Chain A
Amino acid sequence: MPVEHVETRAGSYADSVTLMQVSTRVTAAAGVERAMVAMGTALNLDLLTGMGFALPPGTGPNDLVVAVRAEDEAALALALETVAGALAARPVTGSFATSPPRTVGAALRERDRAIALVSVPGPHAFAEAMDALDADTDVMIFSDNVPVEQEIRLKDVAAERGLLVLGPDCGTAVVAGIGLGFSHTLRPGPVGIVAASGTGAQQVLCLLDAAGVGVSAALGVGGRDLSAAVGARSTLAAMSALDSDPGTDLIVVISKPPAAAVAEAVRAHAATLGTPVRLALLGPGNPDLTAATEQVLTDLGVAVPDWPALPGRPPAGDGTALVGLFSGGTLCDEAMLIAADRLGPIASNIPLRPEDRTDPRAPWDGRHVMIDFGDDELTAGRPHPMIDPSLRTERLAAAGADPRTRVVLLDVVLGHGAHPDPAGELAPVIAALDGPAVVACVVGAERDPQDRRAQMRVLHEAGAHVFTSNAAAARYACDLIEAR
């Protein structure tokens, strides 16, 4: 004697495929004549009625209907167990879940215009970047430790296809108004930047911002791009890209001095472009980044402003040494170039001359010293000092308590991706010093999330001399050393 079971369950939603599978499984169970598990929409109720099921009055479209006709009670019980099991076992993703793309290429193929940002450990970056190039997409490689031969291969493939490779070790970029990596809140404007130096680019961008000048794009090409091996492959491509951008009136190339042949290639390429190019090559005898920025402003016919600065406490005690503690490598380089000219050799973990090399972890011998805390040697296994300044803060406290110190020189880099309140971390330590003077350069844009003015004020109130030009800060630190 066949038995029939019809029940409705309110608040029991499942997607179409799940319910079809449940219906199929139950219908196939031994002793089941007919079965349907479905939402009670009008059409489904018609189907159920057509199958001969009697429906409870009031069954509506938001009810899940379970209807089974089996040959006996035992078969029905088994069938209902199957329904319960199948509904309980269903993946509870709901009907509107999506499966995310699993590869860079798959993610890119459905988009018209995109840029891929690769930030995986260096040894794996090549495959991901090549996948992006294969999907006809420009790629920014944030990763460092990418072998140079892989960098060259990627840049050659990009050149064949008219694409751009930014990086490897590209820490900052502005593309289509969007900042990538460590970036600032900048206004759009006429200057296009090509930079082989992350913090160097950040200094120029923030000074331009302080002068009211915005950027069309900032393309980081990686610190090795202007080496003899890589031969400025991305620099030349990025210059061409900016040349064809109608929003770019002036191109600025920022780098340490490249090999002579590479510098010549960059100059020759610049001469072929319709857009004027200003080279800012940081090195002995060359203008510093602030001077280069001032040249850019003059090129644009914009008045050079007084770069914002706030005075601090003069040094006390008998100290003689300058101690620079930096999170940005290029800012450290620039400060060393300025200080070496005035004070003589500067010991460093990234020295200007090999003979000035010092181990950043060894006890200090009392010489003028500048440490780049962002160098690989000090970032292995820990975040970059722009994110986690604790190592540098400890060193600041130690140097400040050492009677040999006369001036501590710091950079404080703001922006997206950087520490949310670097001045707040440093201020109590600075305020507690009673001997040395502290000179700090705040690299930040007006509208950065940390609020540049507020950060400057906090450092100033703690007693620091505060600058927005790293070169001006370094010169002022030298003044304080020489004034003794």
Chain B
Amino acid sequence: MHIRGAAGSAVQDLLEGPSQRASVLGAGPRAIYLAVGRGTPQRVLAILTADAVRLPCAVVVNAPLPQPGPVATVGDGAVRWDRPACVTITAARYWPPARVRPAAPRALALRAAIDRADTGVADDLVRALGRRTAAAARALLGRGPGLTPAGDDVLAGFLLGARAYGLDAGPVRATVAATAGAATTALSAQLLRHALAGECVPEVLPALERGRPAALLRVGHTSGAALARGLLLAAELSERTAAA
């Protein structure tokens, strides 16, 4: 079976580079997550259906996802596996991932919209991140039980907001860059690296630029709300900094 997809340019080097072994981190009807190679930190490539939230590290295919085998290869132009059936997934084109641009913070609108949303993280930990210390970042990295722990989502939202609003994130950036690979799941660490580079899921942009988080809040069970909470923190801090 040959499936043609459209891939984020963030994974172009993986797809077109030399072939590497990949292991399946997890799979569902809309997503297959592959950990590629043996490097540290480990890169993650997601294979997503068109209706899934578009992660920057994804190949989006317009077809039902095939069942992944235990072992796959990524590189030489394709994702391939031989069992349970022969599957080749190639990128017919590449799309640029959504990126944050400089924007004015909209704390009031964000606060009103995400007031009651469940973020999955205790609010004192989020407020502590406002001090922008390495300890506050470490307290959130990998916090939460799931695929992308909610603490990481808050950190990602904060990093994206700080970048867009021109806020100095202090030691938070360095801490995430240095320790995410070991402290949290491979997928979550991958998404944090994208956040450090200003790359995000497209649903972040209306929240960040216009204070409209409705689409973001529908992402995942709590992931979107946690990202929005991080954005709000960055917006509040940068408004306060501007006022001072």
Tell whether A272 is near chain B: CB-to-CB under 8 Å.
Answer: no
Tell whether A268 is near chain B: CB-to-CB under 8 Å.
Answer: no
Roughly how many angstroms separate A94 CA and B49 CA in the complex, as a whole number? 12
Central interface residue in B30, B185, B187, by most chain A CB within 10 Å:
B185
* CB within 8 Å for A42 and B222 given contacts A95-B148, A96-B31, A97-B53: no
Tell whether A1 is near chain B: CB-to-CB under 8 Å.
Answer: no
Q: Residue on B with the closest CB to A36?
A: B145
Q: Residue on A with the closest CB to B224?
A: A98
Task: With both chains docked as a complex, state the minimum distance between the C-beta of B25 and any C-beta of chain A, in angstroms.
Answer: 6
Task: With both chains docked as a complex, state the minimum distance between the C-beta of A472 and any C-beta of chain B, in angstroms.
Answer: 41
Roughly how many angstroms separate A206 CA and B42 CA in the complex, as a whole number? 54
Contact pick for A13, options B52, B120, B147, CB 8 Å: B147
Residues from chain B with a CB closer than 8 A to the CB of A20 are 120, 145-146
Q: Residue on B with the closest CB to A17?
A: B221
Contact pick for A15, options B151, B215, B221, CB 8 Å: B221
Residue contact B146 to A95, C-beta cutoff 8 Å: yes
* CB within 8 Å for A37 and B147 given contacts A11-B23, A96-B53, A110-B212: no
Contact pick for A16, options B145, B214, B215, CB 8 Å: B145
Q: Residue on B with the closest CB to A10?
A: B23
Residue contact A42 to B183, C-beta cutoff 8 Å: yes
A49-67 vs B, Cβ < 8 Å mask (1 yes, 0 no): 0000000000001100000
Tell whether A92 is near chain B: CB-to-CB under 8 Å.
Answer: yes
Task: With both chains docked as a complex, state the minimum distance between the C-beta of B109 and any C-beta of chain A, in angstroms.
Answer: 12
Tell whether A41 is near chain B: CB-to-CB under 8 Å.
Answer: yes
Residue contact A62 to B222, C-beta cutoff 8 Å: no
Residue contact B146 to A19, C-beta cutoff 8 Å: yes
Task: With both chains docked as a complex, state the minimum distance between the C-beta of A410 and any C-beta of chain B, in angstroms.
Answer: 35
Tell whether B93 is near chain A: CB-to-CB under 8 Å.
Answer: no
B172-201 vs A, Cβ < 8 Å mask (1 yes, 0 no): 000000000011111101000000000001
Tell whether B28 is near chain A: CB-to-CB under 8 Å.
Answer: yes
User: Which bracket fits the contact residues of B?
Assistant: 35 or more
Roughly how many angstroms separate A39 CA and B149 CA in the complex, as a whole number? 8
Contact pick for A12, options B26, B51, B145, B203, CB 8 Å: B26
B24-67 vs A, Cβ < 8 Å mask (1 yes, 0 no): 11111111010100000000000010011101000000000000
Roughly how many angstroms separate A209 CA and B86 CA in the complex, as a whole number? 48
Task: With both chains docked as a complex, state the minimum distance between the C-beta of B180 and any C-beta of chain A, in angstroms.
Answer: 10
Residue contact B183 to A97, C-beta cutoff 8 Å: no
Q: Residue on B with the closest CB to A20?
A: B145
Residue contact A61 to B26, C-beta cutoff 8 Å: no
Tell whether B219 is near chain A: CB-to-CB under 8 Å.
Answer: yes
* CB within 8 Å for A61 and B182 given contacts A15-B221, A41-B143, A97-B220: yes
Roughly how many angstroms separate A242 CA and B189 CA in the complex, as a whole number? 50
Residue contact B142 to A61, C-beta cutoff 8 Å: yes
Tell whether B218 is near chain A: CB-to-CB under 8 Å.
Answer: yes
Roughly how many angstroms separate A17 CA and B186 CA in the complex, as a whole number? 19
Residue contact A39 to B147, C-beta cutoff 8 Å: yes
Task: With both chains docked as a complex, state the minimum distance between the C-beta of A90 and any C-beta of chain B, in angstroms.
Answer: 10
Residue contact B25 to A93, C-beta cutoff 8 Å: no
Contact pick for B30, options A11, A14, A61, A97, CB 8 Å: A97
Tell whether B238 is near chain A: CB-to-CB under 8 Å.
Answer: no
Tell whether A38 is near chain B: CB-to-CB under 8 Å.
Answer: yes
A88-112 vs B, Cβ < 8 Å mask (1 yes, 0 no): 0000111111111100000001111
B112-145 vs A, Cβ < 8 Å mask (1 yes, 0 no): 0000000010000000000000000001011111
Residues from chain A with a CB closer than 8 A to the CB of B33 are 13
Roughly how many angstroms separate A310 CA and B192 CA in the complex, as a whole number? 61
Residue contact B53 to A43, C-beta cutoff 8 Å: no
Q: Residue on B with the closest CB to A112?
A: B210
Q: Residue on B with the closest CB to A11?
A: B24
Task: With both chains docked as a complex, state the minimum distance between the C-beta of A61 and any C-beta of chain B, in angstroms.
Answer: 5
Residue contact A94 to B147, C-beta cutoff 8 Å: yes
Tell whether A44 is near chain B: CB-to-CB under 8 Å.
Answer: yes
Residues from chain A with a CB closer than 8 A to the CB of B206 are 110-112
Q: Residue on A with the closest CB to B185?
A: A61
Residue contact A62 to B183, C-beta cutoff 8 Å: no
Tell whether A455 is near chain B: CB-to-CB under 8 Å.
Answer: no
Residue contact A96 to B143, C-beta cutoff 8 Å: no
Tell whether A235 is near chain B: CB-to-CB under 8 Å.
Answer: no
A1-39 vs B, Cβ < 8 Å mask (1 yes, 0 no): 000000000111111111110010000000000001111
Residues from chain B with a CB closer than 8 A to the CB of A110 are 206, 212, 214-215
Residue contact B221 to A96, C-beta cutoff 8 Å: no
Task: With both chains docked as a complex, state the minimum distance between the C-beta of A28 and any C-beta of chain B, in angstroms.
Answer: 16
* CB within 8 Å for A92 and B28 given contacts A15-B146, A16-B150, A20-B145: yes
Residue contact B220 to A61, C-beta cutoff 8 Å: no
Q: Residue on A with the closest CB to B203?
A: A98
Residues from chain B with a CB closer than 8 A to the CB of A14 are 26, 146-147
Residues from chain A with a CB closer than 8 A to the CB of B201 are 96
Residue contact A18 to B146, C-beta cutoff 8 Å: yes
Residues from chain B with a CB closer than 8 A to the CB of A98 are 51-53, 203, 215, 218-220, 224
A322-359 vs B, Cβ < 8 Å mask (1 yes, 0 no): 00000000000000000000000000000000000000
Residues from chain A with a CB closer than 8 A to the CB of B182 are 42, 61
A124-167 vs B, Cβ < 8 Å mask (1 yes, 0 no): 00000000000000000000000000000000000000000000
Task: With both chains docked as a complex, state the minimum distance between the C-beta of A104 and any C-beta of chain B, in angstroms.
Answer: 14
Residues from chain A with a CB closer than 8 A to the CB of B184 are 41-42, 61
Residues from chain A with a CB closer than 8 A to the CB of B185 are 13, 39, 41, 61-62
Residue contact A23 to B145, C-beta cutoff 8 Å: yes
What 9 pairs across the A-B complex have the smallest Cβ distances? A13-B26, A41-B142, A16-B146, A38-B145, A110-B214, A17-B221, A19-B145, A94-B28, A96-B53
* CB<8 Å pairs between A and B, sample of 24: A11-B23, A14-B147, A16-B223, A17-B222, A18-B221, A20-B120, A36-B145, A39-B145, A41-B184, A43-B149, A43-B151, A43-B183, A44-B142, A44-B145, A62-B185, A62-B186, A92-B28, A92-B29, A93-B30, A95-B148, A96-B219, A97-B52, A98-B215, A101-B218
Chain B: residues with CB nearer than 8 A to chain A? Answer: 23-31, 33, 35, 48, 51-53, 55, 70, 120, 139, 141-151, 182-187, 189, 201, 203, 206, 210, 212, 214-215, 218-224
